[in-house]
Amino acid sequence: MSDVARVREVFVPPATLKLLRELCGEKAEGKPYSQKRLGQLTNDEVSHTMIALIELGDRQPSRETAEALAKALGIDIEQLILDVSDPKIRKHLEQLLLDTEPAQPEAVA
């Protein structure tokens, strides 16, 4: 059982859900998922209003909501909690989701 599965509320950085919604939609349907479409993909377990509130940083999802979002996006819940404000993490996540060639590691000075 992952550490995420043990908590009641999951911290999802606001920019992360928006990025994942856009990237996963592009990969699956050729265009970003709207908030409404993502809600539909959760079998309406998560409303488009809740998705908007999460993306704005006004609400944090319960573990069950985060799991429903991750499942609808076709990702692991651990990817949902990554902080994409870090450029390296964002780039890694984009490469992972879009199946692009991995970047060469930066040289350490």
The more confidently predicted of residues 35 and 88 is: 35
- Asked if residue 9 has pLDDT above 60, the reply is yes
Q: How far apart are CA 57 and CA 73, in angstroms?
A: 19
How many domains is the chain partitioned into structurally? 1
What the block records as the tokens of 102 is 């991995």
- Asked if residue 30 has pLDDT above 50, the reply is yes
- Burial code (b: 16+ CB inside 10 Å, e: under 16) for 63-86 equals eebbbbbbebbebebebbbbebee
Q: Give pLDDT, residue 105.
A: 45
- Residue 50 domain-assigned? yes
* Residue-number span of the structural domain to which 29 is assigned: 4-81
- Residue 77 domain-assigned? yes
φ/ψ region of 88 (left if φ > 0, alpha if ψ in -120 to 50, else beta) reads alpha
- Residue 88 domain-assigned? no
